[in-house]
Amino acid sequence: MGPITMSAKEAQRPGLVRAARDGKVTNREGAAALGLSVRQFRRLRRRFEQGGTRALLHRGRGRPSWRRIPESLRSRVARLMQGRYAGFNDCHLAEVLQEREHIAISRATLQRLRAELGLEPKRRRRAPRHRRRREREARRGALVLVDASEHPWCEDRCGPFALLGALDDATGEILGLLPRPHEDLHGYATLLQRLIEQHGLPATLYGDRTNIFVRNDRHWSLEEQLAGERDPTQGGRMLRELGIGYIPARSPQAKGRIERFWGTLQDRLVSVLRLKGAASMRQTLRCLPEFIASYNQRFARPPQDPHPAWRTAPRDFHTRLACHYTRVVAKDNTVALPGRWIQIPRGPSSRSYGGCRVQITERLDGRLLVHYHDQLIAEEPAPPGEFTLVSRHGQCHRPPIARPTRTPKPYKPPTPSPHHPWKRRCLPLTLAERARREDIPMEQ
């Protein structure tokens, strides 16, 4: 027989039972030390006298549990785990089996079954690191976390794309998700527009130091130096005109709440999109409302303060969610942006706007508006096709005229002339030459 392996609870029994047998302690004292009744302690003493130390082990050791799930159910779950629901983590798989297959099975049982099948876990567990937790905001809308994650959300069914998200800090619920080809100004403006239409104006946004909202360059123009502050980006101008603050995080760990949120989505959302067969950004967009409702029902928590911090948006917030530029009208009464231009009609009394400084507004829907002294003087509809709002930098000139290219001649250093002063010999001047140059009268 092999060595006896006893648990921490069973290891205290042999010494007390042996002491009671030798008369060192009474049965009542031994039972009190083990937390048993006197009757149960007497049973242990009789078993010890008959079978020794091994008789004190629990009699159910080595026997299959009566709560063990049937073998047929284990085989069915194993087939689902390796087939239709391959790639799901244990917690998510337990929820999906309960909702779709009506199989009530715990996460721990799935974890043991996965280990028996030799399947690798979705994510390996690491030892937790000591960090100081940032307290959540008390009210909904007081702080909204915004970020983007570029990931192969549809796996190999289509290329990777970015998913822009907004997460409420007080409750942890998803306020909006938007797939985009990449992280850009148009995506954040669209996400902010939907957020305002559904909830209102948040107090503050919390994101990274992307150049969409924060100036990352070190250049200061002369006007900025005189004013003592730098001009914001187009995204930062939108937030300023809407009265929304922005906090740029200096590291991914500073905004760890939304970083962990992306880790959850890269696990759960990828599995859901695979289950629904989504193979494009458009199909992903149709699957997001159901996923958001399920996520919020599962992970959202009530806020500490029931009074929300959302504010009523102004009526012209669509105009403020736009790019603004200052331009000078050309002599032919046209004003241009890189890639677009607009003809300004005649003003009152057939006046011309040539040389006037005007404000150009490029809205999220693609329309161009030209204002002069807060008066709308020209408007152009959106261009045909799908429009993307971008920040247009640089001066606005007409396309340059195509000129024939000339082959540059090889460089030839200039050769000084023979009478160049550098080629003259440095000889001492005679008295007559020196007097002539310096106008010194010579003695007779």
The pLDDT tens digits of the residues spanning 330-355 come to 999 999 888 888 999 988 888 899 99
By CB atoms closer than 10 A (0-12, 13-18, 19+), residue 348 is exposed
Report whether pLDDT(422) > 90: no
Same domain, 157 and 271: yes
Domain-located, residue 421? no
* pLDDT bucket at 2, cuts 50 / 70 / 90: low
Report whether pLDDT(439) > 70: no
pLDDT tens column, 228-240:
888 899 999 999 9
pLDDT tens column, 199-226:
999 999 999 998 999 988 888 888 888 8
Can you say how many angstroms the Cα of residue 87 is from the centroid of all Cα atoms in its chain? 23
pLDDT at 392: 83
Please report where in the chains the tokens 């570029």 appear, as a residue: 150
Domain-located, residue 219? yes
pLDDT at 267: 93
Report whether pLDDT(62) > 60: yes
Residues 177 and 207 sit within 8 Å (Cβ to Cβ): no
pLDDT tens column, 258-305:
999 999 999 999 999 999 999 999 999 999 999 999 999 999 999 999
Same domain, 330 and 251: no
Domain-located, residue 205? yes
Domain-located, residue 287? yes
Domain-located, residue 407? no
Report whether pLDDT(40) > 50: yes
Same domain, 159 and 281: yes
CATH number for the domain harbouring residue 249: 3.30.420.10
Phi-psi region of 379 (alpha: psi -120 to 50; beta: other; left: phi over 0): beta
Same domain, 78 and 157: no
> What CA–CA distance (Å, rounded) separates 2 from 60?
18
Q: What is the residue range of 285's domain?
A: 144-299
pLDDT tens column, 63-103:
777 788 888 999 999 999 999 998 899 999 999 999 999 99
By CB atoms closer than 10 A (0-12, 13-18, 19+), residue 131 is exposed
Most confident of 256-260, 399-403, 408-412: 256-260
> What CA–CA distance (Å, rounded) separates 419 from 97?
100
Report whether pLDDT(10) > 80: no
Mean pLDDT of the residues in the chain: 86
pLDDT at 424: 63
Residues 255 and 206 sit within 8 Å (Cβ to Cβ): yes
pTM value? 0.67
Number of domains into which the chain is organized: 4
